[in-house]
Amino acid sequence: MKFTDLPIHARFELEGAIYRKTSPMLASPENGGAARFLARFVQVVPLDGQPRPAPAASKELVRADDVLAAFDVCYAGVTRKLEQDGLPDLRAALEAGREEFIAALAGLKKT
């Protein structure tokens, strides 16, 4: 859980020590000592029944066929423009790049 998500006065563990959040950016060790500044992004382990954060949502996966279909739409538009502008060298380079993209998408290494 991020430090910023803890309520004030919540107990938590950080680097093997127990602290209590005393302000939005300060925590005091339970065994005494100076308060410690903590950045908002610091990950802490909540204690005393504080709810643990929900697991991160899994990344949405996109099917390779859908990626290739979207790429082909882009590729078709670019090749039309290259033909109109009379740039055959760029079209050949684009075709080579397309083949590398498809090979990478298929999980193949092409050198």
pLDDT in tens, 34-83: 999 999 899 999 987 765 555 566 677 778 888 888 889 888 888 888 88
Same domain (yes/no): 34, 7: yes
Same domain (yes/no): 37, 71: no
CA 101 to mean position of chain CA atoms:
22
End-to-end CA distance of the chain: 44
Domain span at 92: 64-105
Same domain (yes/no): 8, 38: yes
110 in any annotated domain: no
Residues 34/25, Cβ–Cβ less than 8 Å: no
Nearest to 19 by CA among 38, 1, 39, 5: 38
Indicate the burial class of 98 (C-beta count within 10 angstroms; 0-12, 13-18, 19 or more). Answer: middle
70 in any annotated domain: yes
Number of domains in the chain: 2
56 in any annotated domain: no
pTM here is 0.44
The pLDDT, as a whole number, for residue 37 is 93
| Residue type (1 letter), 9 | H
